[in-house]
């Protein structure tokens, strides 16, 4: 177990709805990254949060947004869901400061199905 927890584990939504996924980072980690993994593909970087600020974003539209809280937990919000948003959403935490080894710890993911 990595100490990174995600909720919920599974979610079913319909097209056009909005969804919020949650992630608790491992103790001592101040950086959270979110990834989308479609079936048969590798994870794709969505964005990263460091000390409550977005710190890098992949090729995802603005309807994908996030937050990081003072305790370094994080949320991923997706508006106006599309069928192609169906995927496993992975959260990963790491320590982004100097002296850290940067090793990434992944949560077990949220499987989102959009019907």
Residues of this chain that bind other proteins (CB under 8 A) = 2, 31-33, 35, 40-45, 48, 50, 55-56, 58, 90, 92, 94, 96-98, 100, 102-104, 106-109
C-alpha–C-alpha distance, residues 13 and 93, integer Å: 26
Residue number with CB closer to other proteins (61 or 100): 100
Q: How near is the Cβ of 27 to other proteins at its closest, in Å?
A: 17
Neighbours of 59 (CB within 10 A): 7
Residue number with CB closer to other proteins (81 or 91): 91
Residue number with CB closer to other proteins (2 or 17): 2
Residue number with CB closer to other proteins (27 or 98): 98
Q: Which residues are CB-neighbours of 61 under 8 A, at least 6 positions away?
A: none
CB 48 within 8 A of CB 32: yes
Measured at the alpha carbon of residue 63, what is the angle toward residues 62 and 69, in degrees to the nearest 5? Answer: 85
Question: Per DSSP, what are the bridge partners of residue 13?
Answer: 114
Q: How near is the Cβ of 80 to other proteins at its closest, in Å?
A: 25
């Amino acid at each position: 177990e990595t100490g990174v927890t995600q909720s919920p584990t599974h979610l079913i939504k319909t097209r056009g709805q909005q969804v919020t996924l949650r992630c608790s980072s491992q103790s001592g980690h101040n950086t959270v990254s979110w990834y989308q993994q479609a079936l048969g593909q590798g994870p794709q970087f969505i964005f990263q949060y460091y000390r409550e600020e977005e710190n890098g974003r992949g090729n995802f539209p603005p309807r994908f947004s996030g937050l990081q809280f003072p305790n370094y937990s994080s949320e991923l919000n997706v508006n106006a869901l599309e069928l192609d948003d169906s995927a496993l959403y992975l959260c990963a935490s790491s320590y982004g400061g100097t002296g850290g080894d940067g090793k990434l710890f992944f949560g077990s993911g949220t499987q989102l199905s959009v019907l």
